[in-house]
Homo-oligomer: A and B are copies of this chain.
Amino acid sequence: MSEIARLTNVSQPTVSRVLNGNTKVAPEIRERVLACARAHDYQFNALAKGLQGSKTRLLGVLVTDISNGFFADLAKQIEVAARENGYSIILFNSDYNPKNEQEYLDVVRRYRVDGVLAVPIRETSPQWRDYVKKLDVPVVTITRRAHGLDSFYVDHAQAGAMVADHLIDRGYRRFLFIGKDYDGKYVGFRRQLTDRGFGDAATNRVLRSHDQLGQELRDWFFSDTARAAIFAGNDIYALQVLDILRELGISVPRQAGVIGFDDTFMGRFLNPRLSSVSQPTASMAREAVEWLLDRIEHPGPREAQNRPFPAELVIREST
């Protein structure tokens, strides 16, 4: 700016005024400065700008696993929405590790980002919530609900219940969930199964996804003859389950039903095409970003926004 000021015979603050365009400047000077800036391909220094007030036009985005198509897509939508509003994102991957998540919140403070969008790992932990609230930037939670924080999410428990209904209606009589037993979707799934009379421990199991999954799945499947359905905590698990079942010669959906979660892109092309639960990623991302920007641009205490989105059952060939 000083350089441009020198070249155009005005003061440096005047250059600033022209380039930011929010103050009145004589048209003649204005043109001269703009021309000079263009000629020298001037780019403002975002650091110097940010050093002043809090406006870095940087958003921190924290996801749990970017290599999962669902989150990759989410990150993409967030980035697009942010860019449309002149913000850039600094991205972090927690890998479901609270240590990384904590580390990231420090990075975020270092760069004085204007706001944070996070897929939390410990959204139910009061310590985490308190820590986040002490941060002096607005934090918005996406895809998961964190009480007391702005949250944009689909209700996993309700989605789980929808899955239960669907599977029961399709005639499946015993159920396996692949994932963690404290996962909201399992909680809702199990509750609904119980309500409809399928709450037996015998007909209702949880398996974590790991190397032994094939063996365990096989044992579970052949331990009973009732028609079996598998609810995978995400589409990636579902993909693996389909492969295992094929290996075992179990036909889907006849002998076993399989349903995933997130409705990632590949699902509609799998063989058999995968039933799944779809989340409105695009609108979630957009609304969350807009809400966050609104909080950034109009600071001050405000009641926590709680915005649930409807999940949608996408029924294809696997159930």
Residues of A within 8 A of B (CB): 43-48, 50-51, 56, 58, 65-69, 72-73, 75-76, 79-80, 88-93, 106-107, 109-112, 236, 239-240, 242-243, 246, 265-266, 268-271, 273
Taken together as a complex, chains A and B put the C-alpha atoms of A22 and B75 apart, in Å, by: 38
Copies of the chain in the assembly: 2
With CB as the reference atom, state the residue of chain B lying closest to A61.
Answer: B91
Given the interface pairs A47-B56, A72-B67, A88-B107, the reply to whether A271 lies near B269 with Cβ below 8 Å is: no
Q: List 7 A-B contacts (CB under 8 A).
A: A47-B47, A51-B51, A66-B76, A89-B90, A90-B90, A242-B271, A243-B273
User: Residue of B at shortest CB range from A246?
Assistant: B271
A68 to B68, CA, bound (A): 10
Does more than half of chain A's interface fall in helix, strand or loop, or is it mixed?
helix
A67-B72, A79-B91 known; A48 vs B45 contact (CB < 8 Å): no
- Distance between A135 CB and nearest chain B CB, rounded to angstroms: 10
Q: Is the CB of A48 within 8 A of B51?
A: yes
Closest B residue to A238 by beta carbon equals B269
For A240, what are the chain B residues with a Cβ–Cβ distance below 8 Å? 269
Which residues of chain B have C-beta atoms less than 8 A from A73's C-beta?
67
- Besides A51-B51, A76-B93, A88-B111, 12 other A-B contacts (C-beta < 8 A): A43-B110, A47-B48, A47-B111, A66-B76, A66-B79, A67-B69, A68-B72, A79-B92, A243-B270, A243-B273, A270-B271, A271-B271
